[in-house]
Amino acid sequence: MPSSVSPFSLIDVPGGTPLLGHLSAFKHAPLETMSAWWRRHGDALRFRLGPKTLHLFSHPDLAEELFVQQADRFMKVYDPRRPTGLALVLGNGLVTSSGEVWKRHRRIIQPIFHRSRMAAMADRMAQVGEQRIAAWGHCGREPVNIADEMMQLTLEVISQTMFTTSMAQHINQLRHALRVSLKYAFDSLHNPLRLPAWMPTPRNREFRSVMQFMDGLIYGLLAERRRSEAKHDDLLDLLLQARDEETGAGLTDQELRDEALTIFAAGHGTTANALAWTWYLLATHPEAKARFHEEVERVLQGRTPNVDDLQHLPYTRAVFEESLRLYPPVPVLQRKAATKTTVGGLPLPEGALVFVGIYNLHRHPAFWTDPDRFLPERWLNGERPTARYAYLPFGAGPRACVGIHFASVEGPLLLALIGRRYDLQLAQEVVEPEFFVTLRPKGGIRMTLQPRRVPVVSSV
Ligand code: HEM
């Protein structure tokens, strides 16, 4: 519960200008700026972006209050009557909705992602992975952009698990449509000076055209599924069959469109970037890479991995967890106070906007030894950070990632599957993080794929 004496002090970030506040520094490099402010000024900060005042909290106790203890007092920032940011693309799906709508959808969708369904999904993931890396055999020794490759791979995984083969011929167009629409949405949220969406600018027109393409595709697919009796046993079938256990009602076509696009969008860019960063970290830490390859080789003996193998691959899982710590794909979470309240004893007015700095939490020296070092060993033997809410790659509380089991299988499974055949080596000097929808490597990462000399027995 909120306490009256605060162990935190709220610091106003210095240096804002009267009209724009801190907008120019923030807009130029949001993540670096928030990280630098936190290191310089502390765990509870206040700053301004144009007319908006924001808070930046970077302490596990503040995160726990916001996401868990006071979860019902903090909502998402999107207003379904005036969509901005991601809501422009995803509508009122799980990521962007709040209140009763979100509660009902979460009740309906959560069972679809239950741990018990992961074995079947893992087989599809492995199948897609094998097909995709079979094409790498033709790459020769030329470096590839591994961030792009991981994006394509996870896009194919989510397409196959969600829509079976129905999307196969549209995948490149879909990837383009998502890239254009998410960039538009992300820019709209962080640029209060943008031109309104109704103006016929080239950018607005392009946005509308890719949205029409995605809507047409999904509504077409829904109509086809409702017409035919065929079973696909994929996420879309599960969404169509899902019923609210309290009321027995399913989702309308508009709701299904929003949720399908939400799961599709939320379910691949995050994992793709996590994998890209993991290959980068392994390539720059030869000892960890050798240990990873040794484990994969010993456990799989050349087989394609399945969900049961993961329990015998603790180092591979630790590598993935450590990569999510250093480069969390969602480096900042945002909430709005639904009522006047206090967090960590700090008063917040109704409507207050709060960022929780996940990236900062993950590197907080009070809760991690050697916070900036890549040390997968810290996750072995069930060890956990000293504060439970210091590690939040999947968020926390009722709004934590609904795809956490999916991602926790997909990440290590694809690492093992690729690591068993290839040794990935860095082919560029500098790799910089960039916060753009997710935390991605700016411009990608060029790597060479050296085939490994191990017996390969495909079981898929
Ligand atoms: C490494 C991979 C992933 C990471 C790091 C990640 C991270 C997150 C985080 C931090 C949130 C909470 C957002 C908030 O509190 O504002 C979230 C929510 C969500 N994620 Fe993930 N995610 C990943 C993979 C996935 C996958 C594979 C799916 C689906 C297949 C998925 C679907 C969702 C959905 C639908 C939500 C909204 C949940 C709600 O608000 O009820 N995510 N994710």
Both tokens of 308, joined, read 């049961």
Range with the poorest average pLDDT among 98-112, 185-199, 260-274, 371-385: 185-199
Ligand 1 geometric centre to CA of 407 (Å): 9
Of 132, 148, 142, 130, give the one whose Cα is nearest residue 425: 142
pLDDT in tens, 104-137: 999 999 988 988 888 889 999 999 999 999 888 7
Mutate to test the pocket of ligand 1, among 113, 401, 415 (most ligand atoms within 8 A of CB): 401
CA distances from 413 to 130, 268, 294, 304, 399 (A): 11, 15, 15, 9, 25
Question: How are beta strands 44-49 and 11-12 bridged, if at all?
Answer: parallel
Inter-residue contact 158 to 407 (CB < 8 Å): no
Residue 170 has pLDDT above 70, yes or no: yes
Residues in contact with ligand 1 by the CB-under-6-Å rule are 94-95, 106, 262-263, 266-267, 270-271, 274, 329-330, 333, 393-395, 399, 401-403, 406-407, 411
Q: What is the CATH number of domain 11-451?
A: 1.10.630.10
Closest residue to atom 23 of ligand 1, CA basis: 270
Q: Which residue CA neighbors atom 21 of ligand 1 most closely?
A: 401
Cα–chain center distance at 144: 23
Spatial separation of the C-alpha atoms in residues 122 and 313, rounded to whole Å: 15
As a whole number of angstroms, the distance between CA 187 and CA 262 comes to 18
- Domain parsing of the chain, residue ranges: 11-451
The larger pLDDT score, comparing residue 382 to residue 379, is at: 379
Question: What is the pTM assigned to this prediction?
Answer: 0.93
The DSSP string of 190-217 is H-TTPPPTTS--HHHHHHHHHHHHHHHH
Q: What is the pLDDT of residues 248-280, one digit of tens each?
A: 888 999 999 999 999 989 999 999 999 999 999
Mean per-residue pLDDT of the chain: 91
Report the pLDDT averaged over residues 343-354. Answer: 96
pLDDT at 44 over 90: yes
Residue 316 has pLDDT above 60, yes or no: yes
For residue 120, the model assigns a pLDDT of 86
**Ligand 1 atom index nearest CA of 67:** 15
What is the residue with the minimal CA distance to atom 20 of ligand 1?
401
Report DSSP letters for 326-382, one per residue. HS-SS-EEEEEESS-EEETTEEE-TT-EEEEEHHHHHT-TTT-SSTTS--GGGGGGG
Q: How far does CA 18 lie from the centroid of its chain?
A: 35
Enumerate the H helices of 228-346 as residue ranges.
Answer: 235-241, 253-266, 269-283, 286-300, 314-326
Distance CA 460, CA 457 (A): 9
CB 130: neighbour CB atoms within 10 A?
15
